[in-house]
Amino acid sequence: MANIMQTGLSALTASQRALATASHNIANINTPGYTRQRVELATNRPESVGGATRPQYVGNGVSAQSISRVYDGFLTEQARNYGSSVGQLAAKDRWISQLDSVLGDGSTGLAPAVKQFFASAQDVANSPASSPERQVLLSQAETLANQFNNLDSQINVLRDGVNEDLRGAVTTINGLTENIAKANYAIATSSGGSGGASPDLLDQRDQLVANLAQKVSVSTVVQSDGSMSVFAGNGQSLVLGSQSNALETKISTADPRKLDIQFKADGSVITNSLSNGSGEVSGLLAFQDQVLDPAQNKLGLMAMGLADTFNAQHKLGMDLNGALGTDFFKSGVPTVGSNSDNTGDGEFTAIITNIGKVQASDYEVKYIGANNYSAVRVSDQKTISNGDLTALNTALGNEGLSLTLASGTPTAGDRFMIQPTRSMATSFGVKIKDANLFAAAAPIKTLADQGNTGAGKISAGEVPANQVPSPTNPPLLATVDILFTDATHYTVNGVASATSYTSGANIDINGWRIQLTGAPATGDKFQVSSNAGGVGDNRNALKLNALQTSKTLLNGASTYQDVQNQMVSEVGTQGSTTRNTLKTQEALQEQAVQARDSVSGVNLDEEAANLMKYQRSYEAAAKVIQIGDSIIQSLLDVVRG
């Protein structure tokens, strides 16, 4: 009879645990990361009651071996990895959308300010002596400068926002890794090192790891004691057993406007490892390096290109005061930053030698030693030079740059970051404040003597773009007389030796250029002189206005507007690609979560059926105990009687 009671009691206990587990599943149906649990049942060892020749075994009931998770590690990891990808793309998409709004479209961005500026330059060309038109030109120039400055300022605000998000992400990562370490300790101690930990603790840890994966790509290894080691990036350990390795942010050694991520304990930088993975941190770093930096560099290239080419042409003209033009716009110079980890004291400066060759890219220069340098163009990671400083400058010359060691001596391993255009938009401004100083006229005028008898003609004349006239250059504005000694020879300012005449050939004197055509006669005279007082001349204004459609940038491939269009288009394309990929990854993540839940999730219908099943088995087990008790009581009554 004792066996009947023991068997019934084991069934009662097993059913009770199954009922409790089903109830626990129902209670946690909405708990994030919860995995359905089940009771693992097994028959007890039977009791032998027969003889050696006729063995008999009587069952001793059931025992609840364990309460386990209905868990699929592959599906859980798959859902976690898709969540990490979604975290990366969502962060990148969020910031690209903001940058796209900053840059604006054709009606609200930089393009309208450029068009209005050149439209006002055309108005001055139409009425070069008009003071109101000149004042409007200066006003539009100030508006254009403000637009450059404001856009650059807003980009820097976005950069600060990204840095703030990085700091917040690192704080969150530290909190998650600390809690994972605590969970490891609880799991290891609760299981006594056997690995049979509480399913709820395992679920909590898995959810912490899933949350961590949304911030940074992770890989995991479960140890023999049940604890889980967590690694980030290329295998950098974030959690080992009950110990977590905290991260921190610091100002980048290469660029003070950026942040590096490093381990707090030893200071080892893992930024590059994290940027190549997934998760929010990777998305923030990718946005900064792949979208924000190129956009700001292109904005700076446009500003510097406009200032440089406009100034060059403006200085080839003459203002209303009869003076040669000066710089119309002001702009900055390339920056060369020394890596804060450098051990030498070498300092470099850079200048732009040819704006037409300048690329919208940074350059990392490394001093190898023995006067040898290597240079990498950051935009495409192409090594452009390996050699001495002369070879380096030859390579940089092809990029429109020149580098000079200004002071000190670099040490092997020292690094320097050249940013040719990064800060150009913020330094862009209008230099002249007097509308009369706008050099709309050409600096020279030409004249054919009224007494000429031949059919020769003289062009209006110009100062070629390869000339660099100066307000203190008297020969440019000096009067030059050209006298034909016969039909095929002429002298300049009465010089004894005559020059052969070729119709249409360039004649370059004192920095200006003219052409004589036709058939001059002996004694014919032509004159080139200063255009002071030529207030109605618009020749230089027309050339300045033509710059709007001239392909002066990126090796003759782009106008100012082309660079601006490329900037907006690249950001838009990146945004569209990121957004579409994000939608795809979100769909894949949803499918992965559904696949995981189909195995591990709680099904209310199933649990309701289990409740009924375990309730009936519980009642049946109670009935067995009741019957056993009744039999025992009957036996006791017989014995007592």
The predicted structure's pLDDT at residue 554: 95
- The residue that leads in pLDDT, 641 or 198, is 198
Residue 240 β-bridge partners? 243
pLDDT at residue 641, as a whole number:
63
Residue 235 neighbours by CB distance under 10 Å: 8
Q: What is the mean pLDDT of residues 543-564?
A: 94
- In percent, the amount of the chain with pLDDT more than 70 equals 96
CA distance 207 to 28: 14
| Arithmetic mean of pLDDT over the chain | 91
Predicted pLDDT at 359: 96
- pLDDT of res. 56: 80
pLDDT, tens only, 223-236: 888 899 999 988 88
In percent, the amount of the chain with pLDDT more than 90 equals 73
Note the pLDDT of residue 106. 60
From the list 92, 120, 28, 9, the residue with the least C-alpha distance to 600 is: 28
Is-contact 447 383, C-beta < 8 A?
Answer: no
**Average pLDDT rounded to a whole number, residues 438-458:** 95
**Contacting residues for 6 by C-beta, under 8 A, at least 6 apart:** 60, 61
Cβ atoms within 10 Å of 305's Cβ, excluding its own: 25
Which residues, in sequence order, are CB contacts of 111 under 8 Å at separation 6+? 561, 564, 565
Radius of gyration of the chain (CA): 41
pLDDT of residue 469: 53
630: number of Cβ within 10 Å: 11
Mean pLDDT of 586-591: 94
Per residue in 210-225, pLDDT tens?
A: 999 999 999 999 988 8
**Residue 113: its pLDDT value, please?**
92
Please write the tens of the pLDDT for every residue from 338-380: 999 999 999 999 999 999 999 999 999 999 999 999 999 999 9
Residue 105: both structure tokens together: 């479209």
In contact, 363 and 396? CB cutoff 8 Å: yes
pLDDT tens sequence across 40-79? 888 888 877 776 677 787 888 888 888 889 989 899 999 9
Q: Is the pLDDT of residue 589 over 70?
A: yes
**Which pLDDT score, from 0 to 100, does residue 460 have?**
92
Tell me the per-residue pLDDT of 162-171, one tens digit each, with 9 for 90 and over.
Answer: 999 999 999 9
Nearest to 242 by CA among 193, 280, 196: 193
Least confident of 66-70, 386-390, 493-497, 549-553: 493-497
Q: How many CA atoms lie within 13 A of 578 on its CB side?
A: 25
Helices (H), 535-603: 539-546, 560-600
Residue 591 token pair: 């499918």
Overall average pLDDT of the 2-21 stretch: 85
Q: Where are the domains of the chain?
A: 2-70+602-640, 78-293+557-593, 444-530
Q: Are 124 and 130 in contact (CB under 8 A)?
A: yes
Q: What is the mean pLDDT of residues 128-133?
A: 95
Q: Residue 193: pLDDT above 60?
A: no
211-215, 409-413, 442-446, 507-511, range with the lowest pLDDT: 507-511
Strands (DSSP E) found in 288-334: 329-330
Average pLDDT of 529-542? 93
Which of these, 463, 501, 504, lies nearest to 483 by C-alpha position?
Answer: 501
pTM for the whole thing?
0.88
Amino acid identity of residue 74, one-letter, is: F
**Residue 475: pLDDT above 90?**
no
Between the CA of residue 29 and those of 239, 339, 591, 614, what are the distances in Å? 29, 54, 19, 19
Using pLDDT thresholds of 50, 70 and 90, give the confidence band for residue 560: very high
